[in-house]
Amino acid sequence: MSKAKKGDKVRIHYTGTLDDGTQFDSSAGSDPLEFELGANQVIPGFEDAIMGMSPGATDKIRIPAEQAYGPRREEMVLTAPRSEIPPELNPEVGQQLQLQHPSGEDVAVVVTEVTDDAVTLDGNHPLAGQALSFELELVEIL
């Protein structure tokens, strides 16, 4: 039976949980996730776990934060004076916004605090700083 290797397109089912047991994502009830191994389409630890698996195989893995979305970085949190927020924008906690970095790159941020004087924006991935656990099933190698 063949084993998944770099360059293979694979289809997998997965369920992702945090250390406290909170489920953050799952392919249950939908089509399997399809991606190419070695193409950096998923986080490195996730991809590494699929390498060497055969279709039908299952595995449980825990990926440390460094191999997932990296550590939470405080320099990715910005507090902007309310006067710098466009007047037509009414920011609310939890709202996702796109900012443009001076380099021209779009950066996704989440509003984490709103006061009369300022708005706090967090550019960290929501799962940054967290270890991720997955139950994996390699459905097929395409």
**101 and 132 fall within a common domain:** no
Domain count along the chain: 2
Instruction: Report the distance separating Cα 85 and Cα 130, nearest Å.
Output: 30
**80 and 92 fall within a common domain:** yes
**58 and 13 fall within a common domain:** yes
Structural domain that includes position 134: 9-70+127-141
Give the other-Cβ count within 10 Å of 40's Cβ.
10
Query: Please, what sign has the CA dihedral across residues 52, 53, 59, 63?
Result: positive
Question: Tokens representing 19?
Answer: 């250390």
**52 and 80 fall within a common domain:** no
SS3 33: strand
**66 and 133 fall within a common domain:** yes
DSSP letters for 40-96: S-S-HHHHHHHTT--TT-EEEEEE-GGGTT----GGGEEEEEGGGS-TT----TT-E
Domain membership of residue 81 (yes or no) is: yes
Torsions phi, psi for 73 (to 5 deg): -115, 120
The per-residue pLDDT for 44 is: 84
Per-residue pLDDT tens digits for 9-68 = 999 999 999 999 999 999 999 999 999 999 999 998 889 999 999 999 999 999 999 989
Domain membership of residue 99 (yes or no) is: yes
**82 and 106 fall within a common domain:** yes
**118 and 131 fall within a common domain:** no
Domain membership of residue 62 (yes or no) is: yes
Question: Could you tell me whether strands 9-17 and 96-100 are parallel, antiparallel, or unpaired per DSSP bridges?
Answer: unpaired
Domain membership of residue 1 (yes or no) is: no
Domain membership of residue 112 (yes or no) is: yes
Domain membership of residue 4 (yes or no) is: no
The per-residue pLDDT for 45 is: 86
**80 and 57 fall within a common domain:** no
The per-residue pLDDT for 95 is: 95
Per-residue pLDDT tens digits for 79-128 = 999 998 888 989 999 999 998 878 888 889 999 999 999 999 999 999 99
Per-residue pLDDT tens digits for 125-139 = 999 999 999 999 999
**57 and 15 fall within a common domain:** yes
**49 and 83 fall within a common domain:** no
SS3 142: coil
